[in-house]
Structure 1
């Protein structure tokens, strides 16, 4: 009982000490926060700013906070880049007013000239509260070292040392503060894409029942390269306008934007008409970009060359070039048929999973050979699409293929089929028919050796 009382007493003492240290830490944090607030040159936080006005010489930029984000009100009315505005506010409001930051309490005209404040050309006004109370910082020159600049707060004679980054943000151009977004739709929300390049149109769709399997709908029906499609949409979503060229163009012909020869349209899942469309005009060699405009906006702007280079020249460029599409873990049977022999390999069901041959004789088959085969066969890509369907099978030695490969997946009623035919007359590949796309294609002739070496 005496031992229990001692233990309980120590628990109370330790709890008291913990509480004391907690209160002490919290009090210290509070005092530090209060001290930091007291030394702010501008007595508010970035989140309290409702308007930002930048004056550089005769130029004026006014940015206002609205419910849906920041908007530029002067010199033009357009959406602002919220991240750029918030970055500028963050640096500008970090300025301090304690003794360490005051360079001169009451400078003479000569001293102001030394700081670049005798005839300043750069100032920023932040407005807060319902009455839009203004606070104006007037910037002088940057100091030669230490990453600082000089400024005065309008209404006070003191010269302060501020971050050079604060001055740099106040000195930014209209382009910096403008929203430079091209497409706003997230790539994973798109289910239709239409590309027109030099008047050649390709339309692709993502069927609801075939998750992730994009299809070319026109000018031919074929499986599309999903990665390329996502890459294109993501490029136009993540890239920015390079330069704003003309806010109210009078003649789109001058920019190669009428008639439209190249454009990209995307559909948000569920939309009947295009959600976003960009028209692409002439290439500006000097500026290394293409002139463009959004269908739903008037202004003409410049985009990077690599964005247009990414667009396929025709449907062939957008076709999926993988030879076979199977999930390795689901494969439970492989058949390989030659003119004079046949091999059938199956995967036994759990719990004792193993591969074994049924033909030409029943025996255990090395699982490592299966794994290596899967890895090697997936590396092959279509070199050229020859013809669609079964037409011309005899021409390419595919009416009686030298190898017929069938890969079965659990639950599928039909296999993934690949038939190997003749070597091309040029010797640059071997003809094959792929059941995946019901197409005659040209492949690297090494594929024949990979199959024969494995089975």
Structure 2
């Protein structure tokens, strides 16, 4: 086919293409117009600055201040950002299921005395939505917008999203601190007192137990747990007597977080059914918290001591030596690979990820307990040596053989003084299997 004959076909194609995209654009415009026509309030979520819910004798009033929502009536409290955002989203996207036209007799639709009235401010204007009775079949609710005489119907799902209780709108965080900003943690019970203080960007100490090594990652997990903890319900905002809640004369436990010399405390009381009473601060409301909160805190504290055989930084390791002398393997870190040399001049290569996984698994090894200096010496077996890029020894381990049932004795050099420790024999052997797999020719990359 010649180019001259192709020109009419190309022209037809272009006309059809233009017609198709024009029609599609027009249909999209029509759909957008229809969606906008269904919207009850032409507002955006960010434009709403004040909100009031009126139900029977209850009135809940909220205002937006410095980008944060606060409850100012019937009490002053920080609002739950998730609950408020959900409510505002519903208002900004609220659409009518049906428009029943003008209706003078509102009593038949539950709108002479609405069950719920939602008022809000947006761009200097006050809007009102009155919600009345259910529609037949319970699939929707009759509503009235502002002073518009028309009777509208919204879905039951939208009604449920708007009908929020005071409890649902109140902020339920127990501690209003970002966990990474906490500089001290104190936990006090009748039988124990934990007093932790941050001494550096990644270091903590237990005051009064200076030889206790705090495991940072687990402490940070505990702080994240506390920062994410939520109360279940509010019991009373103005308790006259704390004894019925087990909060007086002394609470069962006290948790305090410190940030920039500011403190927030949670006092825990007695059990109530499956939950526990608690109080937010010395003058705050009495609330209910889940029973597993203290259980999780106790579990975290029991694992807080750093018992790792080697707690160093994996990125600092540039050389690893392991095996039973004189049959030693040596791995040296190069640019994009680890070169491994065996006792019989074997030459292997391993990807950095493989070596990092091996070191991570070694970091999982923890000792059961340290042995006294007077413990009898034993002949060394397997050896592990970690060095940095300058040849400085970061860590040295020598196996001293089986000790008690299920435990193996080790000599550790990780500081100014050598130490002896007992660790799980099964976990230690699993780690040795990891090293064995690294020296298998079939694992070469």
Range class of TM-score, shorter chain: 0.7 to 0.9
Once the two structures are superposed, the pairs formed by residues 271-420 of structure 1 within 5 Å of their partners are 271=260, 273=261, 275-294=262-281, 298-312=284-298, 317-325=303-311, 327=314, 330-336=317-323, 341-348=325-332, 350=334, 354-357=339-342, 363-364=345-346, 374=358, 378=362, 381-382=365-366, 384-386=368-370, 392-395=372-375, 397-398=376-377, 401-411=380-390, 413-420=392-399
Assess, with a 3 A threshold, how the Cα gap between structure 1 residues 417 and 254 changes in structure 2: closer, same or farther. farther
Instruction: Say if 2:257 and 2:265, in contact at 8 Å, map to a contact too.
Output: no
Q: Distance in 1 between matches of 2:239 and 2:288?
A: 14
User: Does 2:116 match 1:138?
Assistant: no
Once the two structures are superposed, the pairs formed by residues 195-274 of structure 1 within 5 Å of their partners are 195-198=187-190, 199-205=192-198, 207-208=200-201, 212=202, 216=206, 218-257=208-247, 259=250, 262-268=253-259, 271=260, 273=261
Q: Distance in 2 between matches of 1:404 and 1:350?
A: 23
Instruction: Say if 2:174 and 2:266, in contact at 8 Å, map to a contact too.
Output: no
Q: Distance in 2 between matches of 1:346 and 1:311?
A: 42
Q: Distance in 1 between matches of 2:413 and 2:322?
A: 14
Once the two structures are superposed, the pairs formed by residues 102-113 of structure 1 within 5 Å of their partners are 102-103=99-100, 105-106=102-103, 108=105, 113=108
CA shift digits 1:30-65 (9 cap, x unpaired): 776666555543354443333322122222211222
Partner of 1:125: 119
Instruction: Say if 2:323 and 2:383, in contact at 8 Å, map to a contact too.
Output: yes
Q: Distance in 2 between matches of 1:365 and 1:381?
A: 28
Instruction: Say if 2:277 and 2:286, in contact at 8 Å, map to a contact too.
Output: no
Partner of residue 165 from structure 1, selected from 150, 157, 163: 157
Instruction: Say if 2:338 and 2:349, in contact at 8 Å, map to a contact too.
Output: no
Q: Distance in 1 between matches of 2:381 and 2:233?
A: 58
Q: Distance in 1 between matches of 2:356 and 2:365?
A: 17
Q: Distance in 1 between matches of 2:391 and 2:232?
A: 49
Partner of 1:7: none
Please identify, of 255-264 and 154-163, the stretch whose mean Cα deviation from structure 2 is larger.
255-264
Assess, with a 3 A threshold, how the Cα gap between structure 1 residues 169 and 432 changes in structure 2: closer, same or farther. same
Assess, with a 3 A threshold, how the Cα gap between structure 1 residues 355 and 59 changes in structure 2: closer, same or farther. same
Q: Report deviation, 1:334.
A: 1.3
Q: Distance in 2 between matches of 1:226 and 1:68?
A: 34
Secondary structure of the 1:319 match is coil
Assess, with a 3 A threshold, how the Cα gap between structure 1 residues 194 and 34 changes in structure 2: closer, same or farther. same
Q: Report deviation, 1:241.
A: 2.2
Secondary structure of the 1:200 match is strand
Q: Report deviation, 1:76.
A: 0.8
The number of residues matched between the two structures is: 418
Secondary structure of the 2:393 match is coil
Secondary structure of the 1:384 match is strand
Partner of 2:410: 432
Q: Distance in 1 between matches of 2:173 and 2:380?
A: 53
Partner of 2:423: 443
Assess, with a 3 A threshold, how the Cα gap between structure 1 residues 294 and 324 changes in structure 2: closer, same or farther. same
Assess, with a 3 A threshold, how the Cα gap between structure 1 residues 287 and 185 changes in structure 2: closer, same or farther. same
Instruction: Say if 1:197 and 1:262, in contact at 8 Å, map to a contact too.
Output: yes
Instruction: Say if 1:125 and 1:136, in contact at 8 Å, map to a contact too.
Output: yes
Partner of 1:48: 47
Instruction: Say if 1:420 and 1:448, in contact at 8 Å, map to a contact too.
Output: no
Q: Report deviation, 1:173.
A: 0.8
Assess, with a 3 A threshold, how the Cα gap between structure 1 residues 347 and 381 changes in structure 2: closer, same or farther. closer
Q: Report deviation, 1:125.
A: 2.3
Q: Report deviation, 1:162.
A: 0.6
Instruction: Say if 2:320 and 2:384, in contact at 8 Å, map to a contact too.
Output: no
